[in-house]
Amino acid sequence: MNKKILVTGGAGYIGTHTCIALHAAGYDIVVYDNLSNSSREAINRVSILIGQPIDFIEGDIRDAESLRQAFVDHRFFGVIHFAGLKAVGESVTKPLLYYNNNVSGTITLLEVMRQYNVKNLIFSSSATVYGDPKFLPIDESSSRSCTNPYGQSKLTVEHILEDLAVSDESWNLIPLRYFNPVGAHPSGQIGEDPNDIPNNLMPYISQVAVGKLPKLSIFGNDYPTIDGTGVRDFIHVTDLAQGHVAALDYLKQQTSIEEHGSDEKSSDKKNSIGFLPINLGTGKGTSVLELVAAFSKVSEQNIPYHFVSRRAGDIASCYASADKAKDMLKWRAKLSITDMCQDTWRWQSMNPNGYDGSI
């Protein structure tokens, strides 16, 4: 049975953790990454953690020739597509870069996949596609809208995947809508390594705790939430990684039922996956102040903070309905906020400068 998976963006934060989970589940992986937001050191560390060298191709998803070569050299069962740019603020100042990388890059990937008849895809989507949600918890049928180019690029790719599934039912396309991934591998060897001053809450808190940044600015304390600060569904990155394995196992199981059952009832289309969006979240909301308190307790560090005005584009509360993932993928997040803080702290204190100049 073919268990070879192309992992685009596999050198990044979520990609590295997912490579470890895929390897542990018996999948063979080939990482394809242009290293625009990651490093060879991350790949080296994954190799050490899994005890064997990683099959790594340095390449850009917008480079069709380089992608084709990967499909000539390997026979893939499917693709997990993490490659993309993810900074909301930067996407506002560089929209063409974001649409080119995230949308055009994905179209190029899909064209090459079609050419080599590899039609199984798991795509990194985001809870950002729900915009300001009308209901909580957010389920997959909630309406979608985005206000920034990063979010638009994710939503546009989702629309492309939907159209593709309608045009040809042999595609199996699962966008996983991540809520707020945080945490690190329990070894402390891999984790999130922001290039600059972090935009996101957890890496900001951990850099304050380790003394790299003086204090946290909390964006708003007048939201209609438990303590006035924003509420999010933080999910441990290793749980998230496991969610990808569950999605792939589901896809494999469904498509093999289809293969074996095809001569019995050829008109029965129930095993065709088509376009199947699934939330990956815990279903539980945590406020900014609650996360700061949990991190402070775990790290035994004081985390100075002050309140500033709301950040443009932020919403009050966002947390997932995790029922579809539980019902269909038999997956649920297991790790707690304490685990998330503990593992982030271990990674941050063992690697105060991320993958650069590691100690």
244 backbone dihedrals φ, ψ, rounded to 5°: -70, -40
The single residue among 21, 27, 29, 37 that binds ligand NAD, judged by CB under 6 A, is: 37
| Residue 34 binds ligand NAD (CB under 6 A) | yes
Among 106, 120, 126, 172, binds ligand NAD (CB under 6 A): 126
CB atoms within 10 A of CB 327: 10
State the first-to-last Cα distance of the chain, in angstroms, to the nearest integer.
Answer: 41
- The contact set with ligand UFG (CB under 6 A) reads 86, 88, 126-128, 178-180, 199-201, 204, 216-219, 230, 232, 288, 311, 314
Name the closest residue to ligand NAD (Cβ).
Answer: 12
Tell me the window of 27-35, 46-54, 226-234, 276-284 that interacts with ligand NAD (CB under 6 A): 27-35
Restricting to residues 162-191, name those near ligand NAD by CB under 6 A.
178, 181
- Which amino acid does the sequence have at 301? Q
For position 130 contacting ligand NAD by CB under 6 A, the verdict is no
CB 233 within 8 A of CB 320: yes
d(CA 353, CA 359): 9
Between residues 250 and 305, which has the closer beta carbon with respect to ligand UFG?
305
Among 5, 6, 7, 15, contact with ligand NAD (rule: CB under 6 A)? 15
Point out the catalytic residue in the list 27, 98, 130, 150.
Answer: 150
Tell which one of 105, 133, 175, 183 touches ligand NAD (CB under 6 A): 105
Alpha carbon separation from 268 to 250, 261, 271, 359 (Å, rounded): 19, 9, 8, 58
Residue with tokens 């019902």, as numbered in its chain = 327
Q: Does 14 bind ligand NAD (CB under 6 A)?
A: yes
Task: Name the token pair of 216.
Answer: 């946290």
Nearest CA among 354, 330, 331, 318 for reference residue 134: 318
3-state secondary structure of 267: coil
The answer to whether residue 86 forms part of the interface with ligand NAD (CB under 6 A) is yes
150 is catalytic: yes
**For the chain, how many helices (H) and strands (E)?**
12, 15
Binding to ligand NAD by residue 239, rule CB under 6 A? no
In whole angstroms, the minimum distance from the beta carbon of 315 to ligand UFG comes to 8
Q: Tell the smallest beta-carbon distance from residue 180 to ligand NAD (Å).
A: 6
Q: What is the DSSP string of 164-233?
A: HHHH-TT-EEEEEEE-EEE---TTSSS----SSS-SSHHHHHHHHHTTSSS-EEEE-S-SSSSSSS-EE-
The burial class, CB within 10 Å (0-12 / 13-18 / 19+), for 147 is middle
**Residue 159: CB atoms within 10 Å:** 12
- Indicate whether 84 belongs to the interface with ligand NAD (CB under 6 A): yes
Nearest CB to ligand UFG, comparing residues 13 and 178: 178
Q: Which partner, ligand UFG, ligand NAD, none, binds residue 327 by CB below 5 to 8 Å per kind?
A: none
Residues of this chain, 258-317, that bind ligand NAD according to CB under 6 A: none
The entry of ligand NAD, ligand UFG, none near residue 15 (CB within 5 to 8 angstroms by kind) is ligand NAD
Q: How far is the CB of 264 from ligand UFG (least distance, A)?
A: 41
Contact 82/124 with Cβ under 8 angstroms?
A: yes
Give the total of residues touching ligand NAD (CB under 6 A).
27
**With the C-alpha atoms ordered 30, 20, 291, 198, is the resulting torsion angle positive or negative?**
negative
Binding mask 52-81 for ligand NAD (x = CB under 6 A): --------xxx-------------------
Q: Which of 27, 56, 82, 98 binds ligand NAD (CB under 6 A)?
A: 82
- Taking the complex as a whole, the smallest distance from the CB of residue 272 to ligand NAD amounts, in Å, to 26
Residues with catalytic function:
150
Using CB under 6 A, list all residues that contact ligand NAD: 8-9, 11-15, 33-38, 60-62, 82-86, 101, 105, 124, 126, 178, 181
